[in-house]
Chains A and B, each alone.
Chain A
Amino acid sequence: MFLCDDSAIDFTPQPGVGAPVWCGRAANGETLKDFAATARQVGGRVAAIWGSDERRHGGGFRLHCVFGLDRGHAWVSLDLPADDPVYPDLSGIFPTAGRMQRATRDMVGIASEGGDQRPWLRHGGWPADWYPLRHDAEAEKGARLEFNESQNSNQAPFSAGFPNFPSDYDFVKVGGEGAHEIPVGPIHAGIIEPGHFRFSVVGERVLRLEQRLGYQHKGVEKLFIGADIARGARLVGRVSGDSTCAYAWAYAAAVEAACRVEPPPRALAVRALLLERERVANHLGDLGALGNDAAFAFGLTQFFRLKEDWVRQNASLFGHRFMMDCIVPGGVTVDADAAALAAIVEQCGAIEAAVKELRELYDGHPGLQDRFATTGIIDSNLARELSLTGMAARATGILLDGRAHRQGYTPPPPYAALGVRPVTDERGDVAARVAVRFDEIAESLRLLRTLAVGMAAGDTRVDLAPPAGASGLGVIEGWRGEVLVGVQFDNDGRLARVHPHDPSWQAWPALEHAVMNDIVPDFPLINKSFNLSYSGVDL
């Protein structure tokens, strides 16, 4: 087979024009574990893990594991019995699988045998033996609430569901003379999403950081169940607001693969325009914020000015500053006429010149470079160990970009024809993540101009018929890294299960490593250099 000759799993390629995906079923847990071990050996990574409830169709539960391999993605599913849904722990092979497994247990109630069993997304808002993504969860919740209300009249003033109890979390303790803890969050000092960081420090040196996330968990995955395709598109565009185009495209690609529909070439070109504009907007903002976190307010002012110009053009050309709801299954809801394309080309030139000048100022500023260089280092071995993707992985020297050709891999259109030049930097520190952002802005501006000049003619949307029982997986290289969306349809053509996966799942653990042995005051800078999503992983 495509991974190794003696693979016990039969794979079939997913149809369509999306990123290459092979689908297969593991006969049992050992087969899955063997496949994971082989994937790790050949340099593969765990791309996503989620679970689904198949009991309505006479089955039990199903575990879905996606592995990223040289030639594309392998989507392996494993059926689990309804009465004893357990599977082998994969966190010994892929450490970052641990949190995904814990979330899968919290959501669907299927558990790994061994490994970390602490809850992840469930804090105190619902009982430990109640699983929100099970089909019978709603009915069961009604029965339990009735019981609770009669038992307990002293409830919180508002209760959408179960009573909300405070929860303890068993952080790993660091001992030794002078070692102490600094708890931070969930509400952070800046304008940023909530999460909890537990630093164990000696003096100002960080010995260990442990993250506790889940504060942004708002039940997104449950809302997909029973929704139609259009409602799903609105939801997926709000999984992580800064990556709305990446999520919308990944979802659209998954639905289109399931429906066996290919979007028209012009729709794909417009999608790439939107995705590259999203990348540039975020990189501009991050470069400014990174300057600011190193006390270089000039950088914030200058880059935020450029970002504002950029998102204002989004609004004038596509009707929304962040281009929400522009990409839908079947195509796009917006188009770019000749005048719009000319405006894009013109602005690309202006931004390129301004960024080039600012880069010289950043590179030539000793104080700034002193803060950036050798701060928050991760090397490529660690990045591989943690299945890291995207900008942060490329900043350790790993040449992995879903938009670019590599041996055995052809990127999906329109990127196949664009000849994307992936950017890497081997230093692995904040300076590298800054440099990769600068270079990626330049490359995206080049791509935008190429797309604008050679825009394909034709329609921008095709009709879709919701297929009964079909499934699909979409993979998109967002600005942060690899965004995946897995979609399953029910027999009535409604969504049975949608799982959006953010690259931050793999990058949060990398951040824990990056701050080790740096000083506490460097944490905001290191954190910003990754700029990870909370909402995207908390769902």
Chain B
Amino acid sequence: MIPLLRHIFRTGILTEPPQPAGADDPRREIDRLHDEILRVLGRALTIREVDAGSCNGCELEVHALNNPYYNLEGRGIKFVASPRHADMLLVTGPVTKNMENALRIAYDCTPDPKLVVAVGDCGCNGGVFGESYASCGAIGNVVGVDVRIPGCPPTPLALMQGILAAVRTAK
């Protein structure tokens, strides 16, 4: 136990507080986004992530949002297990035909007023996979979308900016 605590103490807090210097420091941007999301929203935000057919690249970056640098959960923005508990659906794509039905069900299970954010080039417009016998393409082809975050995959910062943009549309 003691080595463990020593390690935690030595690692310190990596999500840095606001700093005056270094305007292009990503950590400063992270902090600004945190504050703004909470200011706009005024409360916690719960997100249900739905992979509707991605290559898993976008999921790697969504995972990164919870690492100590971005520390989304540390600010009350939480990923939840059920769409019934969610304010926002964060959906990666393209929507495969085999996931089309499941995505519709998840959407219907999310209480109103709900926000839908389409993640990645594939989620925005079908990306390299497009529309085909197996792919419905963009998330917007299947459920209503509030905000689109392009990128292959979008960086964690871009994801945070997109989440902020979605929260703004709700206000």
Interchain CB contact under 8 A, B97 and A324: no
Taking a contact as CB atoms closer than 8 A, the residue among B4, B96, B131, B141 that contacts A298 in the complex is: B4
Contact indicator B57/A191 (Cβ below 8 Å): no
Indicate if A301 sits at the interface (CB-CB under 8 A). Answer: yes
Q: A160-B136, A190-B81, A218-B132 are in contact. Are A125 and B67 (CB under 8 A)?
A: no
Kindly provide the distance from the CB of A317 to the nearest chain B CB, expressed in whole angstroms: 16
Residue of B nearest to A321 (CB): B155
Cα of A490 to Cα of B131 in the assembled complex, Å: 24
Q: Are B133 and A285 in contact (CB under 8 A)?
A: no
- In the complex, whether A492 has a CB less than 8 A from a CB of chain B is no
* A164 interface residue (CB < 8 Å to B): yes
Query: Does A535 have its Cβ within 8 Å of any Cβ on chain B?
Result: yes
Set A190, A191, A216, A357: member contacting B7, Cβ < 8 A = A357
Pick the most buried of B106, B127, B133, B135: most chain A CB atoms within 10 A of its CB.
Answer: B133
* Cα distance, A160 to B100, chains bound together (Å): 11
Question: In the complex, what residue of chain A is closest to B100 when comparing beta carbons?
Answer: A164
B41 close to chain A: CB less than 8 A? no
Q: Which of B17-25, B32-40, B45-53, B163-171 contacts A (4 or more CB under 8 A)?
A: B45-53
Known contacts A160-B132, A189-B81, A304-B67, A215 near B102 by CB under 8 Å: yes
Residue of chain A at shortest CB distance from B70 = A308
Q: Which residues of B contact A535 (CB under 8 A)?
A: 53-56
**Do B3 and A360 have beta carbons less than 8 Å apart?**
yes
Q: Which of A189, A223, A301, A358 contacts B132 (CB 8 A)?
A: A223
Interface string of A397-416 (1 = CB under 8 A from B): 00000000000000000000
Contact call A222/B54, Cβ cutoff below 8 A: no
> Number of A interface residues, CB 8 Å?
61
Residue among A123, A194, A285, A308 with max Cβ neighbours from chain B (10 Å) = A194
The docked-state distance in angstroms from the alpha carbon of A301 to that of B11 is: 10
How many Å from the CB of B28 to the closest CB on chain A?
Answer: 15
**Is the beta-carbon distance between A141 and B60 smaller than 8 angstroms?**
no
Q: How far is the CB of B145 from chain A (nearest CB, A)?
A: 13
Q: Contacts A194-B99, A217-B98, A322-B57 known; A222 to B132 CB distance under 8 Å?
A: yes
- What 1/0 mask marks residues of chain A from 119 to 155 whose CB sits below 8 Å from any chain B CB? 0000101100000100001000100000000000000
In the complex, which residues of chain B have a beta carbon less than 8 angstroms from the beta carbon of A222? Answer: 132-134
Question: What is the CB-to-nearest-CB distance from A313 to chain B, in angstroms, rounded to a whole number?
Answer: 14
Interfacial chain B residues near A220, Cβ < 8 Å:
129
How far, in angstroms, from A162 to B132 measured CA to CA in the complex? 10
* A214-B136 in contact (CB<8A): no
Distance A158 CA – B62 CA, assembled complex (angstroms): 27
Are A285 and B3 in touch, CB under 8 angstroms? no
Question: Which residues of B sit under 8 angstroms from A364, Cβ to Cβ?
Answer: 3
A interface, by DSSP: helix, strand, loop or mixed? loop
Are B128 and A215 in contact (CB-based, < 8 A)? no
B100 touches A156 (CB 8 A): yes
Find the residue from B11, B57, B82, B98 having the highest chain A CB count within 10 A: B98
Residue of B nearest to A243 (CB): B56
Chain A, 494-539, CB within 8 A of any chain B CB: 533-535, 538
Task: Enumerate chain A residues within 8 angstroms of B63, measured Cβ to Cβ.
Answer: 191, 285, 304
- Across the two chains, which residue of chain A brings its CB closest to B52? A194
Residue of B49, B82, B94 near A191 (CB, 8 A) is B49
Instruction: Say yes or no: B133 contacts A141, CB within 8 Å.
Output: yes
B76 within 8 A of A: no
In the bound complex, residues from chain A placing their C-beta under 8 Å from that of B155 are 321
Q: Return chain B residues, CB-CB under 8 Å to A324.
A: 57, 152
With A123-B98, A161-B133, A361-B7 given, is the CB distance from A240 to B56 under 8 Å?
yes
Contact (Cβ within 8 A) B133 A242? no
Q: List A residues 306-323 near B (Cβ within 8 Å).
A: 307-308, 311, 321-322
Residues of B within 8 A of A242 (CB): 56-57, 60
Is the CB–CB distance between A125 and B57 below 8 Å?
no
From the candidates A125, A164, A241, A365, name the one contacting B55 in the complex (CB within 8 A). Answer: A241
Residue pairs across A and B with Cβ atoms less than 8 A apart, 11 shown, are A156-B100, A160-B137, A161-B134, A164-B101, A187-B102, A215-B102, A216-B53, A216-B99, A304-B64, A308-B69, A361-B7
Binding site for B on A (CB under 8 A): 123, 125-126, 132, 137, 141, 156, 158, 160-162, 164, 166, 186-187, 189-194, 214-220, 222-223, 234-235, 238-242, 244, 285, 298, 300-302, 304-305, 307-308, 311, 321-322, 324, 357-358, 360-361, 364-365, 533-535, 538
